[in-house]
Amino acid sequence: MTDTLATEPPLRATPDTPDSATVSAHAHARPWLARLHPGLFSIPLGLLALSGSWQRLTSFGWEFAPLLAQALLWLGLGILALLLLLAVAKLILHHGVFRQEFKHPVQGALLALMPVSCLLAVVLVRPTHPDWQLAVNLVIALCLMLQAIIAWHIVSQLATGQMPSELLSPALYLPIVPGGFVGAMALTVVGLPGFAMLLMGMGLGGWALLEMRILNRLFAGPLPLGLRPTLGIEIAPAAVGTLAAATVWPMLSADFIMIGLGIASGPVFAVLTRWRWWSQTPFSFSFWSFSFPAAALASCIAEAVRRGGWPPEVALGAVLLASSVILFLAVRTLNLLLRGRLLSPV
């Protein structure tokens, strides 16, 4: 599968004289459902994470915070439900394509966005719907099982030398690191703190396992054009890990959260220093990889402000900044959708 991410430039065509490459590409284009990319799940993941950020602002007494949190929650859940239905349809109608994506080193890792999104939805929905216990437990079990399968496949490729060096990217974090941390948060809200700490440890171990390989690749030079949007995921481990720690240990002091934010600042600066790599890449939905880490950082800052008794305007500023990033991504993505260029053309 040659299209690693949906960052290929759009096909050139004119109303009167389409070139031969365009005609050939359209002639061999796969059905749109077969072109449904697993990276699309980064959209509801980012929206749900931002909903959690606004939800944390309700403790400061801002009346608009719960309204925005609920709106983002239902928007994220709606898009997640739609994508899950389409993914099931794709699995049934185009199972060969699905199997091919699972075996791909990058797209296989991006499949983990599906269970991670569902686990984050559990974290946000469960506290207000305690009567959904059976359904929530079933979702957590299925998601953790799928996550483990994807993680096993990625680790086996890395451990046996089957992972091509040119395909090493921050996307490989997804099944193990954010998956472990968000899974720990989900197990905490359903009252299983022991298993939550086990997943926290697995997430930390996976982070240590992958960090050396991925950083070594990033320090070697620019990623291939199609992989550059995954740089946003590099911010995720420290940010999401800090947020998970604040959830698993609700009495954790602001000082420890600040230490986590300090650790997270390193990847943030590293990504910003590579701005030429990703700013020159044609926009695609793959840039939603920046949304989840941005919202997680904002949530961590809000938690530190609340627990430290610091000025609430700091938390509001962080959440507004994350919201601006995600609003920009949403507008650009909607533009692609209206122009029929959201999915890869072939």
How confident is the model over 66-106, as pLDDT tens digits? 999 999 999 999 999 999 999 999 999 999 999 999 999 89
| Domain residue limits, the chain | 33-335
Span of 180-189, 213-222, 321-330, 335-344 with lowest mean pLDDT: 213-222
For 193, other C-beta atoms within 10 Å of its C-beta total 13
Question: Per the structure block, which two tokens stand in for 314?
Answer: 């700091």
Q: Each residue of 249-280: pLDDT tens digit?
A: 999 999 999 999 999 999 999 899 888 888 88
Annotation: CATH topology of 33-335 = Glycosyltransferase (1.50.10)
Average pLDDT, the chain: 89
212 versus 319: the higher-pLDDT residue is 319
Burial bucket for residue 256 (CB in 10 Å: 0-12, 13-18, 19+):
middle
Mean pLDDT of 282-293: 95
In this prediction, residue 2 carries a pLDDT of: 39
Q: Each residue of 9-56: pLDDT tens digit?
A: 333 333 344 444 443 444 456 899 999 999 999 999 999 999 999 999
In this prediction, residue 12 carries a pLDDT of: 34
Using a pLDDT cut of 90, give the percent of the chain over it. 72
**Could you tell me which of 324, 310, 239, 243 has the C-alpha nearest to residue 60?**
310
In this prediction, residue 306 carries a pLDDT of: 95
Q: Each residue of 120-140: pLDDT tens digit?
A: 999 999 988 888 889 999 999
In this prediction, residue 133 carries a pLDDT of: 86
Query: What's the pTM?
Result: 0.90
Q: Which of 131-140, 159-168, 311-320 has the highest mean pLDDT?
A: 311-320
Mind giving me the DSSP string for 244-294? HHHHHSTT--HHHHHHHHHHHHHHHHHHHHTHHHHHTSPP-GGGGGGHHHH
> Coil, strand or helix: which one is 127?
helix
